Amino acid sequence: QSNIDSASAGLSQQESILDGVNNSLLAVRDDLLEAANGTNTADSLASLGQDIESLTESMVAALNYQDEDGHYVFGGTINDQPPIVAVDNDGDGVTDSYSYQGNSDHRQTTVSNGVEVDTNVAASDFFGSNLDVLNTLNSLSQELQDPNADPADPQVQSDIQNAVDVVDTASDDLNASIASLGETQNTMSMLSDAQTDISTSNDELIGSLQDLDYGPASITFTGLEVAMEATLKTYSKVSELNLFSVL
């Protein structure tokens, strides 16, 4: 039961975090649609770029969440280092890309006899090991903040539309992972209820045995035992009969 409670609490926390990440993705999508508006100025485009950059950083921070034991949750089975790191190639303090340091495996725990469940999802499950959505948004946010960016430039508009498509795919994959967390929690809830029922039945059985009047119960059992022995003896004698013994 303790394994179920612990795993369920962890999955619930992950679901809450990923809901927040999904909300950030939706906010980014709104910014992208606004950026696609050809009436933007360079300043308004830069402002949207800053917002997209901030939302991207917030998603990275959320996915680098550590549980109460200090373990990174969304790195698969690699939990001793942040699953997502910012890469600054030229040391100018600006993130050039994001890199995934985890794997695609899932931690498991035993919640019942012969029953194991996954206790986490990995960031690569929904963002991929190349972190396409984070890197696409990081690159676009810098492009939009370039003072020379032209809101009406076909290349800028194409990059914005590509980012919308990447965000939509990532959001679909993220929702699938959130759903899987919910399904696992439902499974553990059923197992918990079943274990509670078994525990209750055991308690009732123990109580019945403790309340049992052993005197009458012993007499009843002895009577049944004598009757059974008599039945077995009769069956034994009948089974030995044949045509010659009858004659």
126-181 tens-digit pLDDT: 999 999 999 999 999 999 999 999 999 999 999 999 999 999 999 999 999 999 99
pLDDT band at 85; cut points 50, 70, 90: very high
Q: Which helix (H) or strand (E) holds 116?
A: strand 115-118
Residue carrying the six token digits 């020379």: 148
Q: Which residue intervals of the chain are DSSP H helices?
A: 2-35, 42-63, 123-127, 132-144, 154-211, 214-240, 243-246
- Based on the fold, state whether residues 231 and 183 are members of the same structural domain: no
Q: Which residues does 169 contact at the CB level (< 8 Å), separation at least 6?
A: 133
- Tell me the mean pLDDT in the region 56-84: 97
Q: Do both 150 and 41 map to the same domain? A: yes
151 lies in the same domain as 229: no
Cβ-based neighbour number of residue 231 at 10 Å: 10
Whether 198 has a pLDDT exceeding 60, the answer reads no
What's the pLDDT score for residue 190?
Answer: 77
**Per the domain annotation, does 75 fall within a domain?**
yes
Full domain range(s) for residue 241: 215-246
Residue 230 in tokens: 């008599």
Taken in order 137, 143, 146, 150, the sign of the CA dihedral is: negative
* Share of residues in the chain with pLDDT > 90 (%): 65
Q: Same domain for 32 and 73? A: yes
Say whether both 47 and 73 belong to one domain: yes
**Entry pTM:** 0.77
